[in-house]
Structure 1
Amino acid sequence: MTMFLETERLILRDFVADDWEQVHVYASDADLVKFMDWGPNSENATKDYIDTMIQSQQQTPRAVYEFAITLKENGFLIGGCGLHVEEHSQASLGYCLNRGFWGCGFASEAAYALCKVGFRELNVHRIFATCRPENIASAKVMEKIGMTKEGLLREHFYVKGKWQSSFLYSVLANEFR
């Protein structure tokens, strides 16, 4: 089943093979991915990611919903967002935008649309997300879409040569507006 979500200013759609170049623009940006547990990507890593996302679209039942974030006005790909359905009716939320489109509310718009799908169509009970404590912009996105800060996961994973901590946010189905 091909997925396509429309918001006021965005189209969220399944990735296609030709997306790799526009994804690579942000996935290879060292400043952009400094808070991520991946990247900066090589061209091959970005192509592998796109291939993996295309394969995940064929899962039955589908558990990984990774979408290209495109501008409704012209179809330009500005980032990616995803909802990963996990055990016990939970899903994890993530998003990443080309730096040229930061500060415009696009991440909040995309994340809210994914939460809506998660609760109303996928019937999950809880959606959660994490961000590095230094990533104030991402924390603001989570707060803007109605997530509650649950706490700090102290040095819970090792990536990019050091132990990383994360803020944990979530929203429950009965809290989502």
Structure 2
Amino acid sequence: MRLASTELKTERIYLREFQLSDWQEVHKYASQERVCRYQPWGPNSLKESQSFVKQVLVDSAKEPRTRYALAINNKEDRLIGAGELNIRDAHNKKGEIGYIINPEYWGKGIATDAATLIIGFGFHQLKLHRIYATCDPRNIGSIRVLEKAGMTKEGRIRGDLLMKDEWRDSLLFSVLENEWV
């Protein structure tokens, strides 16, 4: 399933498929230490940002498609982040979301808008039953985004992710199709 830009939009943002030329805008935020502080990747080199976009394009052409990594654009048509939904278990209709936003746009509700659009896409277009997300317990901003997007905190997963040579816990959030309004 290819995504039409008219499918996922609010008054402030729209999500679209990535294009090869997007790597430069991706690099503007993915190369910043503060953006990847709670992530197992980054800060990205130029080559890593280019590789990310190339891999997204490869994954978007796979059948069946299991990765929907989408560019987040503002109403001025500037790429300001990325949102992602990965189908983790097709049989049980489970997906996982994630997002990253250029820090120039932090604190403005952009990540919440993007997460909400992606969740809606997962339930309405992809017919998923359960969508979940994890985040670093220290990432207060991401916790707020997940809660505002309608997800429920299920708990803490101990020693979940090897990040920069140490084990990190993750908080688990989810929403079920029958809870989504």
Q: Which runs of 5+ in 2 are unaligned?
A: none
The alignment's TM-score, normalised by the length of structure 2, stands at: 0.95
- Code of the residue aligned with 2:84 in structure 1: it is G
Alignment of 1:9-158 (within 5 A): 9-72=12-75, 74-87=76-89, 88-158=92-162
Q: Please report how far the alpha carbon of residue 140 of structure 1 lies from its aligned counterpart in structure 2 after TM superposition.
A: 0.4
Indicate yes or no: 2:172 matched with 1:168: yes
Q: Secondary structure at the match of 1:51?
A: helix
Q: Does the CA-based 8 Å contact 2:39-2:163 persist in structure 1?
A: no
Q: Which runs of 4+ in 1 moved over 3 A?
A: none
Q: Which amino acid aligns with 2:160?
A: H
| 2-structure distance, mates of 1:22, 1:156 | 30
Aligned partners of 1:171 and 1:2: how far apart in 2? 24
Aligned equivalents of 1:37, 1:21: Cα separation in 2: 21
Q: What secondary structure does 1:46 align onto?
A: helix
How far the C-alpha of 1:2 sits from its partner, in A, is: 3.2
Q: Secondary structure at the match of 1:35?
A: coil
Gaps spanning 5+ residues in structure 1: where?
none
Deviates more, 1:101-110 or 1:7-16: 7-16
* Identity across the alignment (%): 40
Equivalent position amino acid for 1:174 in 2: N
Aligned residues: 176
